């Protein structure tokens, strides 16, 4: 495996250097713009998007019972990742004023509908979860009563 790993690492470094070589005649202005975008992308993620997501996770962990967090997490993940993917069409930027064959759909309306649908699906999943959790709890209580108290739970 060491040989394979060394080959992968060497190949990767070679391809990366080839990419840098392709930029050898770029002007200083171009390189600055590229650098700004690359650094900006990392900072936008590491300093804004990720900490906000972590903070929401911490908040959810403090405020919500565990059995509801799975469904909420799934709903949030889908909503947030799709929203990031749709930022350009939602931004109102791009396209050309004399060309109505591009960006010609009601994207914001679609996004509101998408948000509402995901929210409804998440609430539904949470309600189902809660009902299941209550039933499970009721069953436990019932079986405990039937078997004559909590000691019977010790089981095999």
Partner 1 sequence: MRLPTVEDVERLLPDPESFRSRARGTGLSARVGVLLGLTFGICFLTGIWSHLQYDPPGWLPIGPSPTHLYRVTQGVHVISGIASIPLLLVKLWSVFPRLFIRAPRGGRARVLELLERASIGTLVGASIFMLASGLLNIAQWYPWEFSFRRTHYAVAWVAIGALIVHIGVKLPVIRDALGAPIDDEPRPAPGAPTRRSVLLATIGSVGLATILTAGQTVPFLRRVSVFAVRDGEGPQGLPVNRTARAAGAVDAALDPGFRLEVVVGDTTLSFDRDELAALPQRTHRLPIACVEGWSRDATWTGVAVRDLLDLAGADPRSEVLVRSLQTRGAFRTSVLPGQFVEDHRTLLALELNGEPLDLDHGYPCRIIAPNRPGVLQTKWVQRLEVRT
Please report, as residue ranges, which positions from 43 to 102 form the binding site for partner 1 (by CB under 8 A).
44-46, 49-50, 53-54, 57, 61, 66-71, 73-74, 77-78, 80-82, 84-89, 91, 93-96, 98-99, 101-102
CB nearer to partner 1: pick between 13 and 124: 13
Kindly state whether residue 121 participates in binding partner 1, applying the rule CB under 8 A: no
- Is the Cβ–Cβ distance between 61 and 50 less than 8 Å? no
Q: Does 17 engage in binding with partner 1 (CB under 8 A)?
A: yes
- Rounded to a whole number of angstroms, the minimum distance from the CB of residue 94 to partner 1 is 3
* b/e per residue 92-109 (b: at least 16 CB within 10 A): eeeeeeeeeeeeeeebee
Cβ neighbours for 103, distance < 8 A, ≥ 6 positions apart: 89, 94, 95
End-to-end CA distance of the chain: 45
* Residue 122 in the binding site for partner 1 (CB under 8 A): no
- 3-state DSSP call for residue 145? helix
Applying CB under 8 A, the site for partner 1 has a residue count of 78
Distance CA 61, CA 69 (A): 8
Instruction: In angstroms, give the least distance from the CB of 145 to partner 1.
Output: 22
Minimum distance from CB of 60 to partner 1 (Å)? 9
With CB under 8 A as the contact rule, which of the stretches 24-32, 139-147, 148-156 interacts with partner 1? 24-32
Among the listed residues 116, 131, 136, 138, the single contact to partner 1 using CB under 8 A = 136
CA distances from 79 to 50, 72, 84, 132 (A): 15, 10, 9, 25
Question: Using CA atoms, how far apart are residues 60 and 55, in angstroms rounded to an integer?
Answer: 9
Closest CB to partner 1 among 129 and 144?
129
């Amino acid at each position: 495996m060491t040989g394979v790993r060394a080959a992968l690492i060497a190949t990767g470094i070679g391809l990366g250097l080839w990419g840098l070589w392709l930029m050898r005649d770029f002007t200083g202005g171009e390189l600055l713009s590229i650098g700004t975008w690359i650094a900006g992308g990392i900072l936008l993620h590491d300093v804004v998007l990720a900490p906000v997501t972590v903070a929401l996770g911490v908040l959810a962990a403090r405020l919500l019972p565990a059995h509801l967090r799975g469904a909420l997490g799934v709903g949030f993940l889908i909503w947030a990742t799709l929203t990031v993917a749709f930022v350009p069409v939602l931004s109102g930027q791009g396209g050309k004023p004399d060309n109505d064959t591009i960006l010609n759909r009601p994207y914001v309306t679609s996004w509101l509908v998408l948000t509402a649908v995901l929210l409804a699906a998440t609430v539904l999943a949470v309600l189902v979860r809660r009902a299941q959790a209550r039933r499970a709890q009721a069953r436990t209580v019932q079986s405990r009563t039937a078997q004559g108290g909590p000691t019977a739970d010790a089981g095999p």
